[in-house]
Amino acid sequence: MDRLSQIAARFDIDGDVVSVSPLGNGLINDTYKVVTSLREEPSYVLQRINHAIFTDVELLQNNIDEVTSHIRHKLEKKGVSDVDRKVLTFVKDKITGKSYYFDGENYWRVSVFIPGAVSPEAVTPESARRAGEAFGNFQSMLADIEKPLGETIPGFHSMVLRLKQLDDAVRLDPVKRVAEVADLLEFINERRDKMTFAERLESQGMLTKRLCHCDTKVNNMMFDSKTEEFLLVIDLDTVMPSYVFSDYGDFLRTAASTVAEDDPNLDKVGFNSEIFKAFTEGYLKGADFLTDVEIKNLPEGVMLFPYMQGVRFLTDYINGDTYYKIKYPEHNLVRARNQFKLLESIEKQLPEISQYISSLKSLN
Ligand code: GN1
Ligand code: MG
């Protein structure tokens, strides 16, 4: 048996492992599908958790256990059908009983593969509406978790921290890339004050964090391949307390962009207002807990995530590509330019964006 199959077999799975092969295109963890002797299609998903990034795997898996059992319980109580396809199920290590396995070098986990579930690279207005409602519901379902969950990456969506990390990278300039990105640094500097609005609101006592998914990009959601029904949100590593803008803004960053986040053709990068409208409508329906301050700042939330992601890609480029997986040397720079182009396009449409949000929700 090869190494990956041996690892999969450590977990309490049904059947014998037949094959383990790569799955998906995440930028952080390594993901594989596991076929067993029970059926031809995959039965499980094996993941190597990137513990250079997620340094506290115990905390991370505790968060995930808490969130998945909380959601499962809620869905069952509501009498929702097909619950096994609407929340992830993690399999325990046969020996330790934990939902992860440390082999002395790497951390691994196994979840049950959900048949007939696909995650689209692009969305339609109709699926965006359903996704909006689903993410709103996701946050709503987590609103009453009593146990405080930890931050799996401290300050993950803190714009203040992300700018500090950029400044540190610029100061060190370890691979001498700062000179060639001067235009981008200027673009970022012009928007610093504006884009740290959430931290400011929090320090004024007007905003608090809630449990958020914090990685709501399109390929972290699964739809039924036949009925196109929204099934579930996956990739729960970053579920943690954050500002609501995390889930609203990060979805629009990927789903409402007219191209992929690493498309080098900047002329094609734009913001799709149909997807924006549909997602917002769904989100406001599902997220029944939002305060006036949160709603009022949703337009800033739309701008925040391309800005933050651009800052993160650029920081990684300046640092010599130590964080995100890249396919070619300029990849992070291309990604950063793409995100800032998207932000420019959103800025141009801001009056309509704000107007649309207030047309859906009249504030007190
Ligand atoms: C990372 O691994 P993946 O692709 O789900 C990143 C997100 C970024 C995203 C950009 C833990 O997510 O924050 O938005 O890449 N996750 C982490 O594609 O840094
Ligand atoms: Mg992720």
**Residue-wise DSSP of 18-75:** EEEEE----SSSEEEEEEETT-SS--EEEEEE-TTTS--HHHHHHHHHHHHHHHHHHH
Cβ–Cβ contacts within 10 Å for residue 44, how many?
22
- In the numeric block, the tokens 């990849």 are attached to 331
**pLDDT cut 70: percent of the chain above it:** 99
Going from the Cα of 217 to the center of ligand 1, the distance in angstroms, rounded, reads 8
Ligand 1, atom nearest to 220 Cα: 5
Going from the Cα of 342 to the center of ligand 1, the distance in angstroms, rounded, reads 17
41, with CB counted inside 10 A (0-12, 13-18, 19+), is exposed
Q: How far apart are the first and last CA of the chain?
A: 64
- In the numeric block, the tokens 């990390």 are attached to 165
> Which ligand lies nearest the alpha carbon of 311?
1
Ligand 1, atom nearest to 54 Cα: 11
Tell me the average pLDDT across 175-185.
98
363: pLDDT strictly greater than 90: no
Structure tokens at 33: 């599908």
- In the numeric block, the tokens 């997986």 are attached to 325
Going from the Cα of 41 to the center of ligand 2, the distance in angstroms, rounded, reads 24
Going from the Cα of 231 to the center of ligand 1, the distance in angstroms, rounded, reads 21
Q: Closest residue (by CA) to atom 8 of ligand 1?
A: 215
Tell me the average pLDDT across 133-161.
92
Tell me the average pLDDT across 263-281.
97
Structure tokens at 325: 């997986």
Ligand 1, atom nearest to 50 Cα: 11
Q: Closest residue (by CA) to atom 17 of ligand 1?
A: 28
Residue 121 confidence class, pLDDT cut points 50, 70, 90? low
Helix (H) or strand (E) holding 117: strand 117-118
CA 355 → CA 235, 247, 277, 298, distances in Å?
33, 20, 11, 11
Going from the Cα of 214 to the center of ligand 2, the distance in angstroms, rounded, reads 8
- Judge whether 317 and 177 are in contact, CB under 8 Å: yes
The pocket around ligand 1, CB under 6 angstroms, is made up of 26-28, 53, 215, 235, 238, 261, 309
3-class DSSP assignment, residue 250: helix
122: pLDDT strictly greater than 90: no
Q: Closest residue (by CA) to atom 9 of ligand 1?
A: 27
Tell me the average pLDDT across 336-352.
98
254: pLDDT strictly greater than 80: yes
Report the chain's mean pLDDT, rounded to a whole number: 94
155: pLDDT strictly greater than 80: yes
Tell me how far apart the alpha carbons of residues 281 and 17 are, in angstroms, rounded to a whole number. 44
Tell me the average pLDDT across 89-112.
96
Looking at per-residue confidence, does 205 or 220 come out higher?
205
To test the ligand 1 pocket, which listed residue (217, 239, 304, 307) has its Cβ within 8 A of the most ligand atoms? 217
- Judge whether 23 and 33 are in contact, CB under 8 Å: yes
Tell me the per-residue pLDDT of 58-77, one tens digit each, with 9 for 90 and over.
999 999 999 999 999 999 99
